[in-house]
Amino acid sequence: MHHSPSSDLPLLLLTPEQCRHSTAVQRRLAELNLSVSVVMGTLCVLTTPFWGALSDRIGRKPVIAVNVMSFFLGVAVLIGVLSHPETVPYQWVILAAAVEGLFAGMGGGQSIMAAYIGDCTDPGSRAGTFSLMMGILFGGIAAGPAISSFLISRFGNALVPFYACVGLHGFQALFTVFILPESLAKDKQKEARKLRKVKQAEKHKKDKEDSERLNTDGSSMSTKLLVRTRKTLRPLTGIFAPLALLGPREKSTGGLDWSLPMVSLGSGLYSMVMVS
């Protein structure tokens, strides 16, 4: 069996060139990338509906600020791992991904920013504004590697792009907290809080009815099992309840309109291809 010259050396003693040819390093890198993607993706799916609904009740600005700060903390942890590999385990990168995922991550941040733009624009100009935002986003994604390469060649330190990134995130957080205006009107926030109270009252009523049915001696075993299952799964169904918005809509002429589900499916498949 063929071994690379550096396969038996401690990984911390390898040079960058040896790392590129070490199967052990490449294997651990692939495992780390997979772990980061799974942790962040799963938490984003679970937390984005919560942060989106919270932004309806307290405004977009606080949620955007928290989301930006999670990126700041994530990059700061990454700098600590890269600058002190002997003392900071590389698994801390997964912790940084978990922090970003808990606060909705990049996908959730884009969703809340889209809501912010929707609050500030007229329906006639909204599509153009969204297109401009996506153009700026992908322009930054395209320019980022080139800027990073320039910074590394200019300063001779691979950590410089990360320092620049954490500085930009810090500036963005300060800008959001102290300068960015709130987009959602106070009366709409109040209406969202009132609607939440109504839903909580309905949920409490259903829980009470389920408890009464469980305590009724005349209820059959199948009924009690059904009630217990529904109570157990209710928090889970609440997490995925926003996905109902992506379902087919009834047409005024009859039948169902599948346009939105098809667009959502296409967007999801496109994202899978992009990250793979």
pLDDT for 51-92, tens place per residue? 999 999 999 999 999 999 999 999 999 999 988 888 888 889
Count of the separate structural domains present in the chain? 2
Residue 4 lies in a domain: no
CB proximity list for 5: less than 8 A, separation 6 or greater: 18, 21
Are 175 and 203 part of one and the same domain? no
Mean pLDDT of 106-122: 89
Domain identity same for 226 and 132: no
Q: How far is CA 228 from CA 86, 200, 207, 219, 231, in A?
A: 51, 19, 10, 12, 5
Q: CA–CA separation, 28 vs 11, rounded Å?
A: 10
Question: Quick one: tokens of 189?
Answer: 């926030």
Residue 237 scores a pLDDT above 70:
no
Q: What is the pLDDT of residue 213?
A: 66
Residues 127 and 239 in one domain: no
Residue 239 has pLDDT above 70, yes or no: no
Q: Are residues 96 and 197 in the same domain?
A: no
Query: Where residue 32 sits, what CATH number does that domain have?
Result: 1.20.1250.20
Q: Are residues 176 and 208 in the same domain?
A: no
So what's the pLDDT on residue 80? 92
- Judge whether 19 and 158 are in contact, CB under 8 Å: no
> What does residue 250 show for φ and ψ, rounded to 5 degrees?
-75, 135
Beta pairing partners, 257 = 249
Task: With both helix axes pointing from N to C terminus, report the angle between 123-155 and 160-178 in degrees, rounded to the nearest 10.
Answer: 150
The C-alpha atoms of residue 45 and residue 103 are separated, in whole angstroms, by: 11
The answer to the question of residue 1 being in a domain is no
Measured CA to CA, the distance from residue 268 to residue 262 in angstroms comes to: 10
- Do the beta carbons of residue 256 and residue 249 sit within 8 Å? yes
Answer whether residue 28 is part of any domain: yes
3 domain residue, yes or no: no
What is d(CA 148, CA 157) in angstroms, rounded to the nearest whole number? 10
User: What gap in Å lies between CA 213 and CA 231, rounded to an integer?
Assistant: 12
| Amino acid 218: pLDDT | 55
The boundaries of the domain holding residue 82 are 11-184
**Residue 247 vs residue 78, higher pLDDT:** 78
Q: Among the three residues 162, 184, 206, which one is the final residue of a domain in this structure?
A: 184
For the chain, give the mean pLDDT: 83
What pLDDT was estimated at residue 4?
45
Range ranked top by mean pLDDT from 108-122, 199-213, 223-237, 262-276: 108-122
* Torsion on CA atoms 195, 200, 201, 205, rounded to nearest 10: 140
Residues 173 and 192 in one domain: no
Same-domain pairing of 116 and 216: no
Dist CA 72 CA 82 (whole Å): 15
Check residue 166 and give its pLDDT.
Answer: 94
Same domain, 44 and 69: yes
Q: Do residues 49 and 142 both lie within one domain?
A: yes
Mean pLDDT (whole number) for 199-212? 78
- Indicate the residue type of 252: S
The answer to whether residues 106 and 19 belong to one domain is yes
Judge whether 153 and 144 are in contact, CB under 8 Å.
Answer: no
Lowest mean pLDDT among 11-15, 21-25, 171-175: 11-15
Domain boundary among 153, 184, 215: 184
Cβ-in-10-Å burial (0-12, 13-18, 19+) of 256 comes to: exposed
Domain boundary residue, one of 155, 184, 213: 184
Among 52-61, 86-95, 163-172, 223-232, the minimum mean pLDDT is found in: 223-232
Instruction: Answer yes or no: is 166 within a domain.
Output: yes
